[in-house]
């Protein structure tokens, strides 16, 4: 038999997802999930799905047409601008596969979503992290000039950025897009937590823009796996449709995501609760001498006080069944990323942190 080892193990560093502990009793603040349940209308649609066995027997619509229409109505754009994916991670992977040729550069802020370099490499491209503009030692800011001037064929902007929470207003994003030599992916996974208009409403004006969005965060549907792209460029949309799996979204996911987008009022209500809790948690962590970056997302990046390292804090909280995210061997290894939980979870977190800092735990 031919030896396939070289082709299979090409030294990829895989993406390291946050831990998903099994069993009850965990306060899970490590993967930026929404702490509130999905809309009751989504759960109702889930129950009703059991009355329609054809949803399972038959293949789904290959382009999830009904969901596309609803998303298009939501943003007041043509349905052809929307492509549905099995989570926005699939959208990002398909974009890399259909845009990058061997050794093409793809650029992104060095501290942003750590999946980008993995997907770029898998597509045969060349990851180009753009160093952060770190002017005063704490603020890990996107270097907008360097990102704009980079000659990469494909560029990613996470907006708000993860894990820093930095948000660029649309006028700043537009300045980046004016470098039309590159195709830009604006990843708006956390955008609802900004209360600002999405770049999706501007796709008709920018042929080099693909906006990526997800149901995982604001709609509390990370387990369902539904994401989508919005793009005004017919050629790009044809490529996305050609490169995705034929039946990438299952029929039930399509129905449930449709119920979620129709219940905008509920989505907004959980988003508002999370924004309010974010500001409270930021204040309380600052009172405990953490250095916390301002955030427009559903998480905070925080540097613990000098008395404890970020890694020790992460480990000690884990002993208390509280999970937060620690990025070992990274540019943010002095920080922890904390997903905003319910008020009760945030209170549990703060009281555990106080005990750890005061030395009465571990
Ligand atoms: C910036 C960013 N983009 C995309 C995703 C993936 O979202 P999805 O669950 O839709 O695959 C995440 C998930 O955490 C993220 O942080």
Do 202 and 295 fall into the same domain?
A: no
Q: Would residue 240 count as lying in a domain? A: yes
Do 178 and 113 fall into the same domain?
A: yes
Q: Quick one: CA torsion of 278, 279, 281, 284, rounded to 10 degrees?
A: 170
Mutate to test the pocket of ligand 1, among 92, 93, 109, 189 (most ligand atoms within 8 A of CB): 189
Do 238 and 296 fall into the same domain?
A: no
Q: Would residue 249 count as lying in a domain? A: yes
Do 175 and 319 fall into the same domain?
A: no
Containing 183, the helix (H) or strand (E) segment is: strand 183-187
CB distance 33 to ligand 1 below 6 Å:
no
Do 246 and 287 fall into the same domain?
A: no
Residue 116 CA to ligand 1 centre (angstroms): 10
Do 218 and 276 fall into the same domain?
A: no
Do 49 and 130 fall into the same domain?
A: yes
Domain finish residue from 232, 262, 292: 262
**CATH number, position 175:** 3.40.640.10
CB distance 270 to ligand 1 below 6 Å:
no
pTM recorded for the entire structure:
0.95
Distance CA 295, CA 163 (A): 9
Do 233 and 319 fall into the same domain?
A: no
What was the pLDDT predicted at 362?
45
Atom index in ligand 1 nearest the CA of residue 31 equals: 14
How many structural domains is the chain composed of?
Answer: 2
Domain finish residue from 262, 287, 311: 262
What was the pLDDT predicted at 12?
67
What was the pLDDT predicted at 134?
61
> Which pLDDT tens digits describe the chain residue by residue (362 residues)?
556 555 555 666 778 888 888 888 899 999 999 999 999 999 999 999 999 999 999 999 999 999 999 999 999 999 999 999 999 999 999 999 999 998 899 999 999 999 999 999 999 999 999 999 865 555 699 999 999 999 999 999 999 999 999 999 999 999 999 877 899 999 999 999 999 999 999 999 999 999 999 999 999 999 999 999 999 999 999 999 999 999 999 999 999 999 999 999 999 999 999 999 999 999 999 999 999 999 999 999 999 999 999 999 999 999 999 999 999 989 999 999 999 999 999 999 999 999 999 885 54
What was the pLDDT predicted at 149?
93
Domain finish residue from 240, 262, 284: 262
Q: Would residue 278 count as lying in a domain? A: yes
Do 235 and 281 fall into the same domain?
A: no
Mutate to test the pocket of ligand 1, among 20, 115, 325 (most ligand atoms within 8 A of CB): 115
Q: Would residue 335 count as lying in a domain? A: yes
What was the pLDDT predicted at 3?
60
Q: Would residue 18 count as lying in a domain? A: no
CB 229 within 8 A of CB 91: yes
What was the pLDDT predicted at 310?
98
CB distance 83 to ligand 1 below 6 Å:
no
**CATH number, position 305:** 3.90.1150.10
Q: Would residue 13 count as lying in a domain? A: no
Do 232 and 344 fall into the same domain?
A: no
Q: Would residue 17 count as lying in a domain? A: no
Do 252 and 137 fall into the same domain?
A: yes
Domain of residue 306, residue span = 23-38+265-356
Give helix 65-75 / helix 251-262 axis angle, nearest 10°. Answer: 20
Atom index in ligand 1 nearest the CA of residue 227 equals: 10
Q: Helices (DSSP H) in the chain: which residue ranges?
A: 5-8, 40-49, 54-57, 65-75, 88-99, 115-122, 144-149, 170-177, 234-243, 251-262, 264-287, 310-319, 343-357
Nearest residue CA, atom 7 of ligand 1?
88
Q: What percent of the chain has pLDDT over 90?
A: 88
Do 155 and 175 fall into the same domain?
A: yes
Q: Would residue 291 count as lying in a domain? A: yes
Residue 161 CB contacts under 8 Å (≥ 6 apart), including other chains: 109, 111, 112, 142, 167, 297
């Amino acid at each position: 038999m031919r030896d396939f080892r070289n082709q299979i193990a090409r030294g990829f560093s895989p993406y390291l997802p946050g831990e998903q502990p099994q069993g009850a009793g965990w306060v899970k603040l490590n993967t930026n999930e929404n702490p509130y349940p999905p809309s009751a209308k989504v759960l109702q649609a889930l129950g009703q799905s059991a009355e329609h066995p054809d949803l399972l027997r038959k293949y789904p619509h290959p382009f999830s047409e009904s969901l596309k229409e609803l998303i298009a109505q939501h943003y007041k754009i043509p349905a052809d601008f929307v492509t549905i994916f099995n989570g926005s991670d699939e959208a990002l992977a398909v974009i890399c596969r259909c845009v990058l040729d061997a050794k093409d550069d793809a650029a992104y802020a060095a501290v942003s979503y750590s999946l980008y370099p993995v997907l770029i490499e898998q597509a045969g491209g060349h990851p180009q992290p753009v160093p952060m503009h770190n002017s005063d030692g704490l603020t890990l800011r996107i270097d907008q000039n360097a990102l704009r001037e980079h000659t990469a064929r494909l560029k990613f902007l996470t907006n708000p950025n993860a894990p820093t929470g930095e948000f660029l207003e649309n006028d700043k994003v537009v300045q980046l897009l004016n470098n039309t030599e590159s195709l830009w992916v604006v990843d708006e996974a956390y955008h609802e937590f900004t209360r600002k208009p999405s770049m999706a409403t501007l796709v008709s004006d920018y042929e080099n823009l693909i906006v990526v969005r997800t149901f995982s965060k604001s709609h509390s549907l990370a387990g369902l796996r539904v994401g989508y792209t919005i793009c005004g460029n017919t050629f790009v949309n044809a490529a996305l449709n050609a490169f995705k799996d034929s039946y990438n979204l299952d029929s039930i996911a399509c129905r449930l995501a449709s119920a979620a987008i129709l219940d905008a009022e509920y989505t907004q209500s959980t988003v508002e609760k999370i924004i309010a809790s974010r500001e409270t948690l930021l204040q309380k962590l600052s009172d405990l001498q953490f250095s916390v970056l301002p955030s427009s997302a559903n998480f905070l990046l925080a540097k613990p006080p000098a008395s404890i390292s970020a890694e020790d804090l992460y480990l000690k909280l884990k002993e208390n069944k509280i999970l937060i995210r620690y990025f070992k061997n990274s540019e943010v290894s002095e920080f922890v990323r904390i997903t905003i939980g319910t008020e009760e979870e945030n209170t549990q977190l703060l009281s555990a942190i106080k005990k750890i800092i005061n030395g009465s735990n571990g």
